[in-house]
Amino acid sequence: MPDAAPTPPPDAPEPGHALALRPGLLWLRMPLGFAPWHVNLWLIEDGEGWLAVDAGARSEEILAAWNRVLERELGGRPITRLLATHFHPDHVGFAGWLAERTRAPLMMPRTEYLMARFLALDTDEGMTAQQLGFARAAGAPEAYLSYLAGRGPLYARSVVALPRHYRRIAQGDALRIGNHDWQVLTGGGHAPEMACLHCPALGVLIAADQVLPRISPYIGVGASEPQADPLRDFLDSNTRLRALPADTLVLPSHGEPFTGLHTRIDALAGHHAERLDTLHAACATPLTAYQAMGVLFPRVKEDRATGFALGETLAHLNRLVAAGRVRRSEGNVPVFGSV
């Protein structure tokens, strides 16, 4: 990924401004201090107010942007409901602030809410020790271990505390928002139970991070479940989304709105198939997870990006193990060898 934010496309809204995509459907684009450099939020007209989908990251820039939106962009109508798609801080980091500011109740999938609450409360050094153990088992060098030890628990610093109560949403739920029915479709892989919203009448899918137009969503394994198989969950979830019409307007959390849902799902499946084949061939000589990371991400640095690269590498290794194409050895630092 680039080291600086690219110039936004000319038709994207500026931070603090809203762009109407359909009557009663607004696009907000908030800045991030890290790649992919922005996050898209959505406002759906909801009777006398608005339902907000996601809230953005915790930052002074997003605080200023939200204040401008609330004061100037909503036609004097309040945000009356807040729906958070998943627990990642660029989506839910400011949800606690927005809920308190607007008094809007929070809706969220149960697993995502509990993950956000759990990680926000985990501020002790036990989290750092767990991350260090995970990295050591992957064969990470001392340079990266030193970075992790100095970073400490990151999530708790990245979010405003969520409300202590919420309304659960789940796969198949029908939400009446304004004059239209929206169906909740949950997806796995990027997050355990990420909420997408589909409105058949409008032909719109709010896709969160499930289907992005130009990059593959992060599909990674973390320290809490080191042998998880999120890539299977991701691919299975996208297969289910193929049941939607091909001409659906997709509203992604990163990038620009697009059509061509089926084509993009196929491209993502092909991308991961190629990565799996590349890794399978490399494991003809058994590799640690960290060594395998160098195959998929040869230019990664010993910093924040390493954690994402290592997690994504393990997701592909674990998929290969589950498919019987690679064998994981026993021991403190397992190696992965092709079968």
Across residues 20-34, what is the average pLDDT?
Answer: 96
**Ordered domains of the chain (ranges, CATH):** 17-325 (3.60.15.10)
Cα-based distances in Å from 101 to 89, 115, 126, 296, 313: 18, 23, 33, 43, 40
Cα-based distances in Å from 182 to 20, 194, 335: 18, 15, 46
pTM: 0.95
- Evaluate if residue 8 carries a pLDDT over 80: no
Distance, in Å, from the CA atom of 259 to the CA atom of 115, rounded to the nearest integer, reads: 32
Q: Which of 95-104, 278-287, 292-301 has the lowest mean pLDDT?
A: 292-301
- 213 upstream amide cis, omega within 30 of 0: no
Place of tokens 């993502």: 268
**Within a 10 A sphere around the Cβ of 4, how many other Cβ atoms?**
6
Q: Quote the longest CA-to-CA distance of the chain.
A: 64
pLDDT range class, residue 35, cuts 50, 70, 90: confident
- Beta-strand runs (E) in 211-325: 249-252
DSSP state letters, 142-191: HHHHHHHHHH---HHHHSPPPPS--EEE-TT-EEEETTEEEEEEEE-SSS
Phi, psi of 249 (to 5 degrees): -80, 115
Q: How far is CA 96 from the centre of its chain?
A: 18
**pLDDT of the residue at 154:** 84
pLDDT range class, residue 1, cuts 50, 70, 90: very low
Across residues 313-325, what is the average pLDDT?
Answer: 99
